Amino acid sequence: MANKEYYERWLKIKEQMKTTLSEDERLNELATLFVGIKPQATAVEIVARVYSKYCELYNKLCDCYDQMEQVQRRQYIKKIIDAVTCRLLELKRTLEEVEVFEFTYPDNALQQLLMVPQDIKILCPFFYPFEIRQQEMQYIIDQIFAGNRIGDPTPTPSEIKCKEEERLEEERRKQEEKDAEIKRMIAMGEDISLSDTSVVLSPQELEEIRLREEYEKHINNIQRMERSRLVTRNNVHKRNKDINLYLELAGIKAPQVREELRIRAAMFIQKAYRRFMEIKREKNKDIQLRQKLGMIMPSWSPPSAYIQLEKVKEQRRNYRRKYYEKWMEENIKENARVLRLREGDIMEDISSEIRQWFQEWYHEVRLFDEFPWPEEGGSILVVKGETFTIEEYIDWRTAEEKRLKAEAEAPKTKEQIKAEKVAAREEKKRLAFEEKEREKKRLLDYKKTRLNPDNDPGIYISIGKTLEHLQSAWLDYQNQWQSIDNADPSKDAVKGYIMQLVTENAYKDVQLQLRPIVDEMMKLELNLLRNSLKADYLAAGIAKPPQSKKRKKPKKVKPPRPDKISPASMFQQLVDEGIVKKYPRTTLDDYWGDRNYAAADMRAVLWTPSFPLPCIGDVREQVRNRCLLTLGSSCPNAIRTQLLVGPQAAGKRTLIHAIATETNSILIDLSPMNVYNKFPGPKNLKTMFTFVNRISKLMQPTVIMVDNADKLFYKKVPKEEKIFDPTRLQKDFYKEVIKPIQSNDKILVLGTATEPWFAKNPLMYKSFPSLILIPRTDYGSLSLVLTKILMKYHGVDRDFNVHSVAQALRGYDINTIRKAIDNLMDGNRVAQLYNKPLDPMEVVNAVLDFKGAKFTDAEDFEMFQQWYNGYSPWGQKYMDYLLMLESQYLYKLKNDKKKK
């Protein structure tokens, strides 16, 4: 896509942004006015429409931010993306509250918008993996993971000499052992092998050798089968020829049938063969049509266009980086030019602004306001109008005079002042408690009114707190670019940079650079004015001139203490201890599973809705929203801890590896079974937490994994696990790992749990207030998985009955099914597919006979459901919702009987 096309696409996105914002404002107006919406399905569709539009916008904005070569516009788009992310998370939470379920289904809203679920699939944007971590930190990660020990302290010359002597001594000892072994073999008359067994191959070389051997094995197998076919054909031909010659020489060869019969037989064979080929062509044509429609999956597909598209995108990124470097150079040059030519004028303009402020105060109230502190921003607050206004000062002075007059009439003692402060605190607590009780009573009354459908006020939507931030980011862009974005743009508005904006930014930067200097000069001038004003008041006989309200001096931000240990050394120690780990490259697309397409319609039934369990594909979408979006955002409402709960082999670790891969995060493993013998002792444990906190912040994005987090919060440690001390981190985990995470940190804490009912729920909930329950494998997901696995074999019928197999294997984990099918479809079975088609029972038996298969039946998963209802607040909300539906349905039946 050319730059002009991206620009036109951006203009369309702007129009879409306007309509989406206006619809979101109407939604927020309903929330502000406390307008109840009913029935439930209507409220879901109203919120889901806005949510779906923002999802589509988010993906388009990320694509534009990634590929747009106009570097000045990209920084505004980034701010808009951050604001949209926060609004998306808020709308997702609102949609959950409206649906009273953690898994949301906006399918009915998508039908209205003429969209499909893939249109609102949240994509992990390009800038998460590559624009967050500093280059120095990325270099440390790459070098240490490559095996280079850059984190070790620099050895002294004596240590280098000792290590070299040890190395030479070790080589001499090995050579002596080798010579002794050769002498022994000569004495015993054994063959001497000349191969050097001391060669150690790297993992990459071993992998290359394994792939080469596997490739040669397949080639040899094909050659052997082809030779065998040729030899068999030649042998059969020779044997038939010999038999024919023998019968002819012996005179017992049957005479040929008459020519008429032979012609009729040939015609019959031709007719049957033509009909066979006609049926075969029709079948192939039908298969090709079904492949184009996506009804069946071919065994071979051409190289994906996605790979070529990524190559093109990478080329555009390179061009964009070059434009960015030129833009930065031009900024530096322009800043230097403006500072050199206009330094005096800019300082005079700033001084005039501040003097004008002095004059306004003097003419209005005959005094001067306090000058803002440098930590607050200095005179920037004056320009923005964020200082004390004259009207506010007059109101404050009136109130202050009344207070001083009251104190003069009845002076208070220290004890009275202290008692008033205590009483004020108690009153504040009392008001907070009463507000809390009123809110409880309101919710209780609201639940009661919803029990009767005639009195049901409907559903109240939560007020959006991040919409204002999004509107502000959009307004900032409009103010700067409204006059530039038009149908016939200039070349620098499409790619590169606009020099006029560079100059304007240079004036702004130089003004910010010079303003502190001017502020110091104007403070001296303000002191002179105050002294003169004080002298004027004294001359007029006023001993105590009026004073402005004193400004509190803000606390100075303490600079961070320099680390005693370098980041490379900390990272090296964590890697050596196995706490920071390399993980397999996995994407969320590798976590196979299908969505529940029927849930939206089943939940939208007016009086008797049903609530089917979520599918594995729904889990993937939940992870995209709660993990990928949260990890890349700076939203204060984002929950940065998630607990993945599910049966064994449900793919919890696979999801964690996929999240880390998609965001290019480092993986810190604080699992109980991984750290039980690391950094022993309380002092060393404190050191480990310090290292983890520093590395997670310095090298963010970071994923902190706690595998088997339920063991960390054991109620009672089993005897067989006491040796591992799984609760070692329980006491300090929240305080040392989770509490230090700030809203702008790109850090995510992910825990897994297989037996969560053995954990202390209050302690675990404090660390992991949000969870994702992974369901057992369902029919739809298994049908998709079986189709993907089996259709890669060319000999398998395209109409293979995967549906019956999926029904039979519900509850078996996907990894077991993949391994069992790989074992079943070996070379011999693949060669037999043409003559012996694959039977569904073969797949079922292969999975049932697979050693180590994991199966979860409905009764086992019911334990997870019961625990979830007691652990998550959504469980109680869901039970209240069911009670309300039952009550409304009973009222409806009574009303229907009365009408009859």
The predicted-structure confidence for 549-559, as pLDDT tens digits, reads as follows: 777 777 777 77
**What are the pLDDT digits (tens) for 835-878?**
888 888 988 998 888 888 888 888 888 888 888 888 888 888 88
Query: Concatenated DSSP letters for 769-802?
Result: --EEEPPPP-HHHHHHHHHHHHTTSTTS-TT--H
pLDDT of 156 higher than 50: yes
Instruction: Find the mean pLDDT for residues 873-895.
Output: 85
More confident residue, 27 or 185: 27
Which domain covers residue 289, as residue numbers? Answer: 261-293
Which amino acid is located at 338 in the chain? V
Q: Do 424 and 326 share a domain, yes or no? A: yes
Residues 6+ apart with CB under 8 A from 789: 817, 818, 821
Question: Residue 827: exposed, middle, or buried by beta-carbon count in 10 A (0-12, 13-18, 19+)?
Answer: exposed
Average of per-residue pLDDT across 194-220: 76
pLDDT tens, position by position, 593-604 = 888 888 888 888
The band of 192, judged by pLDDT with boundaries at 50, 70 and 90, is: low
| Better pLDDT: 161 or 714 | 714
Q: Do 573 and 535 sit in the same domain of this protein?
A: no
In percent, the amount of the chain with pLDDT more than 70 equals 94
- Alpha carbon 74 to its chain centroid, in Å, reads 21
Q: What is the pLDDT of residue 900?
A: 65
Confidence check: pLDDT of 196 > 70:
no
Q: What single string gives the DSSP state of each residue in 85-107?
A: HHHHHHHHHHHHHHHTSSS---H
Specify whether 490 is located in the same domain as 508.
Answer: no
- pLDDT number for residue 410: 64
Same domain, 487 and 440: no
Q: How many Cβ atoms are within 10 Å of 83's Cβ, its own excluded? A: 21
Give the whole-number percent of the chain exceeding pLDDT 90.
7
Higher pLDDT, 130 or 680: 680
pLDDT surpasses 60 at 130: no
Residue 149 has pLDDT above 50, yes or no: yes
Structure confidence at residue 197 (pLDDT): 47
The amino acid sitting at 267 is M
pLDDT band at 131 (very low <50, low <70, confident <90, very high): low
- Report pLDDT for 226: 92
The residues facing 644 across adjacent strands are: 752, 772
**Residues contacting 62, CB < 8 A, separation 6+:** 81, 123, 125, 126, 127
User: Is residue 841 in some structural domain?
Assistant: no
- 432 and 323 in one domain? yes
For the stretch 554-581, pLDDT in tens is 777 777 677 678 888 888 888 888 888 8
Q: Which residues pair with 759 in a beta bridge?
A: 714
252 assigned to some structural domain: no
Q: At what angle do helices 858-871 and 873-899 cross, to 10 degrees?
A: 100
Q: Is the pLDDT of residue 721 over 80?
A: yes
Q: What is the pLDDT of residue 278?
A: 95
Q: How much is the pLDDT for 37?
A: 84
Q: Indicate whether 420 and 364 sit together in one domain.
A: yes
**Average pLDDT of the residues in 249-276:** 89
How many domains is the chain partitioned into structurally?
4
My answer on whether 277 and 344 are in the same domain is no
Answer yes or no: is 40 within a domain. Answer: yes
- Tokens 């005693």 identify what position? 564
Same domain, 464 and 572: no
State the pLDDT confidence band at 281, using cuts at 50, 70 and 90.
very high
- What is the predicted pLDDT for the residue at 428? 86
C-alpha 462: how far from its chain's center?
A: 24
Cβ 583 vs Cβ 660: under 8 Å: yes
Residue 334 included in any domain: yes
Q: What is the pLDDT of the chain when averaged over all its residues?
A: 84
For residue 408, what pLDDT is reported? 63
Tens-digit pLDDT profile for residues 762-776:
888 888 988 899 998
Helices (H), ranges, 251-304 = 259-292
3-state secondary structure of 855: strand
Beta bridge partners of 459: 37
Average pLDDT over residues 330-358: 86
Triad 222, 228, 230: Cα angle to 5°:
105
| First vs last C-alpha separation in the chain | 67
**Residue 606: predicted pLDDT:** 81
pLDDT at 228: 92
Q: Is residue 508 part of a domain?
A: yes
Question: How high is the pLDDT of residue 305?
Answer: 67
Q: Do 24 and 55 contact (CB within 8 A), yes or no?
A: no
pLDDT at 268: 95
- Does the structure show a pLDDT above 70 at 199? no
Residue 792 lies in a domain: no
The last residue of a domain, from among 466, 482, 497? 497
Give yes or no for residue 307 having a pLDDT over 80.
no
* One domain for residues 415 and 524: yes
Classify residue 301: in a domain, yes or no: no
Q: pTM of this prediction?
A: 0.82
Both 510 and 483 in a single domain? Answer: no
* Continuous segment of H or E residues that includes residue 751: strand 747-753
Q: Are residues 623 and 475 in the same domain?
A: no
Mean local confidence (pLDDT), 775-804: 86
Please check whether residues 484 and 583 belong to one and the same domain: no
In a domain, 33, yes or no: yes
**372-394 tens-digit pLDDT:** 888 877 888 887 777 777 887 88
* Whether the predicted pLDDT of 883 surpasses 70: yes
* 463-485 confidence digits (pLDDT tens): 888 888 888 889 988 888 888 88
Split at pLDDT 50, 70, 90, the class of 235 is: very high
Closest CA to 66 of 20, 13, 17, 128: 128
Place of tokens 């900024």: 331
Q: What is the pLDDT of residue 403?
A: 72
Once rounded to an integer, what is the mean pLDDT over residues 449-465? 83
What is the per-residue pLDDT for 128? 55
Q: Is the peptide bond before 567 cis (omega within 30 degrees of 0)?
A: no
Mean pLDDT to the nearest integer, 688-708 = 88
Q: The tokens of 746 are what?
A: 């790109």
**pLDDT greater at residue 757 or residue 799:** 757
Rounded CA-CA distance 799/792 in Å is: 13
**CA dist., res. 6 & res. 64, Å (int):** 7
Mean pLDDT along residues 330-335:
87
Residue type, 368: F
